[in-house]
Structure 1
Amino acid sequence: MTNSSRGSGKAGRGGKAAGGKGGKGKGGHNWSSKRPVGGKGIFVTTMRGKESRCVGEIYDLLDEVADRLYPPERVKALQDEREARLKERRQEGAPMDEDGEAEEGEASTATPQAQPPIDSDDDDDDDIEASIEKELAALKAGRGAKGLVKKDAADAKDKGKAKERPRFQSIQTDTECLCFIATAWPYDPVELTEAIVSEVQETGQARTRFVQRLTPTSFTCHSLSVEQVEMQSSRLIEQVFTTWAQAHNTTSVTYAIDTSVRSHTAPLSRTVLLPLLGTQISKLSSAPTISSPVPSRPILSVRADLKNPDLVLLATVLKNVYGLSIVEGRLWRGKNRVILSESLEWLANERDITIAS
C-alpha cells in the first residue's frame, strides 16, 4: 500500500475485531476510546497535528502484521492453552489476570457475606412502575407505545449478544504527538512491534508517513507506586531474560535501558528508573527464590552494554502510568549508542548500519 493511501486513515476507524470482523472496507467500527491509558499496547509518536492520520496508518500496519503472525490455527491453539491454564489456576484457587497468568499476591480467603433475601413482590411492583414511567415518557416524546415496544424488543435482542472487542483500539493520551494503541489478547505488542521494525530493516521501506517511533508495553501500573513498579518490572525481567537465555543456550545476557518520561516529575524520574531497573536485573545473578516467577531458572551473568545489547528495556512513564517492555537488542541499535523505539523512516534511511549479531 502506498504512503498516500495509508495516510488517509481516520482515528475512529479502528482495527479489525478480535474475531476477525470489521476493520477497513467493512463499514469501519469506531474503536477510539476515552478510557485511561493502560494495559498491553504500543505508544506511537507522530508529528504535531497528525495524530489522527498516524492512528489510521498504524491500524493498517497492525492489521496486516497481525493477520500474518496470528493465523486462525495459531489463535485457536492459544485459546486452548489459555483455557487450560485458567482451569488449572481455578482449581488451585489462585487469582488470575485476563491472560490466564497468576496475579501478584495471594487469593482472598474471606468468606462472602450473605445477601439479604429478595422480596419478589416488591420487585414486581417496581417493574410495573418503571414500565408505566417509560410509557409516559415515550408518549410525551411523541413516539407512542408502539415505538417503545420496538425499542424494548431491540434492546432485548441485543442484550444476549457478546460485545465485539477490537484487536486494536486507539486510546486518547491527551498528549501532543503521542498515541496509544491498546492490543487485545492474544496479540502481543512486543511481537507485533519487532515484526514491523524487522521488516523495515530488511526491506528499507518504512511505508508510513506519520508513524514515527514505536514503544510496546507488556504491562502498565500506577507510576506513583514505586513498590508496584519494582514488583511488576522484576517479574517481567526475570521471565524475559530467562526465556532469552534458554533460547540461545547461554547464561550470559547483556542489556541496555532506555527511558521515556512525559508529564511526570516524581517519583519515577530517569535518575530513579535507571538504578531501580538495574537493581532488579542484578538479582538474576543470584539464585531464584521460592516466590520467583521462574523458580527453576539458572543463575545468569548479566551486564550493561550500550553498543551491542542482547536485550533492551523500554521503560515509559506518561503522567500517572508506568509501562515496561523488553525487546531484542539487534532491532534497536543505531550509530554509536543504543537507540530505542526507533523511527521507521530513520531505520529505512540508515540500513547501512552494522546490526549486532
Structure 2
Amino acid sequence: MSSEEQKGKKRCKAQFCGNTKRQKRHRELEVGMQGILITCNMNERKCVGEAYNLLNEYGDQVYGPEKLNETDIGLSESEEEDAEAALKKEVDQIRTSVEKNLRRFQSVESGANNVPEKLVHHILKDVYTTKKKNTRVILRMLPVSATCKAFPEDLKKYAEKFLEPWFKVPNKGTFQIAYKARNNNHMNRDDIIKDLAGIVSSLNAENKVDLSNPEYTVIVEIIKNICCLSVVKDYTLFRKYNLQEVIKSNREEKPQQPKKEDNEENYETTDNQNTLKG
C-alpha cells in the first residue's frame, strides 16, 4: 500500500472519529427542568436502559399508553388517497416523529457520575407491595419537581414559592430535609437546611421537624450549578426511595395511601444520586 493511500485512510478515520464525537453530544441538566434523578451501581448505560423500561411500563399504568401526536400521524378526512399511498404516508410520518424524539421520557446528562413525583411514588409503592425485582443496577429514583440555580439566594427565593403547596396555611405537616451536593463548593449544607427549615416554619407555625417519621421530606440535590428540588411522601418507609432496599423490606409493613391531591412529600438530611431523566 502506498504512503498516499495510508495517509488517505488515516484522514478518513480521523474525520469519522471527529464526526462521531460531535454526534455524541447529550442534553445537560438545566434550570427549569423536571424529571427523575436516578442513581446506579456504576453501570450507567444499563441504568439508562432499565430506567426507560421501568418508566414506560409504569407510565402506561399511570398516564395510559403513549400516543404520538395526531397532527403528526393522522390523515385528514378530506384527503382522498388510495390505500397504498395513505399507508406509506402514515409510516413516513411515524418514522419522522420517532426521529424527532417525541417521547414521554428522554435521558439527560446530570453532570455527575453514577447518578415525577406521582409516578415515582406509584413505582415505589408497587415494588414495596409486590417485591417484584424488575431492575438490577438502578438504586434510587428521586423525582425532580423543579430546578433553580445553585446559589443560596437563588434557592431561598425560589423555595419560598415552591414549598407553598405543602406547607402554607392552611396546609401543614411534619417534615425533614434531605440534602446532597455534588461538584459544588459554594453551598453550605447546614446553612441551606437552616434556611429551608425557616421558610417552612414561616409558611405555617404548625409545621414541625420530625427526623424519624415525617409526613414530608424536602429533597435538595445540588449538581454543579443546578439545584434539584422535590417534596415526597413515605421517604422513610420507602428506604430513601431506594428500589433495591424497598424490595428487601419487610412484607408486614403497609405503605401509606397517597393523598387525593398531588401534594405528597417528606424530609431528611443526607443521600446519594446522579443521573436525571425526564
d(CA) in 2 for partners of 1:205, 1:47: 19
d(CA) in 2 for partners of 1:72, 1:65: 10
The letter of the residue matching 1:232 is: Y
> Residues 237 and 33 of structure 1: is their aligned pair in 2 closer, same or farther, counting only changes over 3 Å?
farther
- Structure 1 partner of 2:107: 170
d(CA) in 1 for partners of 2:56, 2:239: 26
Match of 2:49 among 56, 63, 72: 56
Q: How does the TM-score come out when normalised to structure 1?
A: 0.52
d(CA) in 2 for partners of 1:33, 1:203: 39
d(CA) in 2 for partners of 1:173, 1:252: 32
> Residues 47 and 69 of structure 1: is their aligned pair in 2 closer, same or farther, counting only changes over 3 Å?
same
5 Å matches for 1:30-41?
34-38=26-30, 39-41=33-35
Return the offset for 1:252: 4.4
Given that 1:33 and 1:172 are in contact with CA atoms closer than 8 Å, whether structure 2 keeps it comes out as: no
Given that 1:258 and 1:314 are in contact with CA atoms closer than 8 Å, whether structure 2 keeps it comes out as: yes
> Residues 176 and 353 of structure 1: is their aligned pair in 2 closer, same or farther, counting only changes over 3 Å?
farther
d(CA) in 2 for partners of 1:197, 1:177: 20
- SS of 1:197's partner is helix
Given that 2:125 and 2:255 are in contact with CA atoms closer than 8 Å, whether structure 1 keeps it comes out as: no
5 Å matches for 1:122-141?
none
d(CA) in 1 for partners of 2:255, 2:60: 29
5 Å matches for 1:268-283?
268-283=187-202
> Residues 345 and 356 of structure 1: is their aligned pair in 2 closer, same or farther, counting only changes over 3 Å?
closer
Given that 2:167 and 2:207 are in contact with CA atoms closer than 8 Å, whether structure 1 keeps it comes out as: no
d(CA) in 2 for partners of 1:36, 1:164: 16
Return the offset for 1:311: 0.8
d(CA) in 2 for partners of 1:252, 1:353: 29
- SS of 1:213's partner is strand
d(CA) in 1 for partners of 2:145, 2:58: 18
Larger RCO (alpha carbons 8 Å, 6+ apart) = 2
Return the offset for 1:355: 5.7
CA RMSD of aligned residues (A): 3.0
- SS of 2:142's partner is strand
- SS of 1:333's partner is coil
Given that 2:39 and 2:114 are in contact with CA atoms closer than 8 Å, whether structure 1 keeps it comes out as: yes
Given that 1:54 and 1:211 are in contact with CA atoms closer than 8 Å, whether structure 2 keeps it comes out as: yes
5 Å matches for 1:67-146?
67-71=60-64
5 Å matches for 1:205-224?
205-224=132-151
d(CA) in 1 for partners of 2:101, 2:123: 26
Match of 2:219 among 299, 305, 314: 314
> Residues 353 and 43 of structure 1: is their aligned pair in 2 closer, same or farther, counting only changes over 3 Å?
farther
The letter of the residue matching 1:324 is: L
- Structure 1 partner of 2:185: 265
- Structure 2 partner of 1:333: 236
d(CA) in 2 for partners of 1:56, 1:229: 32
Given that 1:37 and 1:321 are in contact with CA atoms closer than 8 Å, whether structure 2 keeps it comes out as: yes
Given that 2:111 and 2:224 are in contact with CA atoms closer than 8 Å, whether structure 1 keeps it comes out as: no
- SS of 2:173's partner is strand
Return the offset for 1:72: 6.8
Given that 2:124 and 2:243 are in contact with CA atoms closer than 8 Å, whether structure 1 keeps it comes out as: yes
> Residues 353 and 176 of structure 1: is their aligned pair in 2 closer, same or farther, counting only changes over 3 Å?
farther
- Structure 2 partner of 1:43: 37
- SS of 1:326's partner is strand
Please list every run of at least 4 consecutive aligned residues from structure 1 whose deviation after the TM superposition is greater than 6 angstroms. none
5 Å matches for 1:145-184?
163-178=100-115
Structure 1 unmatched runs, 5+: 1-31, 77-156, 179-188, 286-299
Structure 2 unmatched runs, 5+: 1-23, 70-91, 257-278
Return the offset for 1:202: 0.9
5 Å matches for 1:186-197?
189-197=116-124
- Structure 1 partner of 2:58: 65
Given that 1:255 and 1:309 are in contact with CA atoms closer than 8 Å, whether structure 2 keeps it comes out as: yes
In our comparison, the structure showing a higher alpha carbon Rg is 1
Given that 1:193 and 1:216 are in contact with CA atoms closer than 8 Å, whether structure 2 keeps it comes out as: yes
d(CA) in 2 for partners of 1:199, 1:36: 30
Given that 1:220 and 1:321 are in contact with CA atoms closer than 8 Å, whether structure 2 keeps it comes out as: yes
Q: Can you list the C-alpha shifts for 1:304-339, whole angstroms capped at 9, x where unaligned?
A: 1111211111110001110100011xx2115xxx95
d(CA) in 2 for partners of 1:33, 1:68: 32
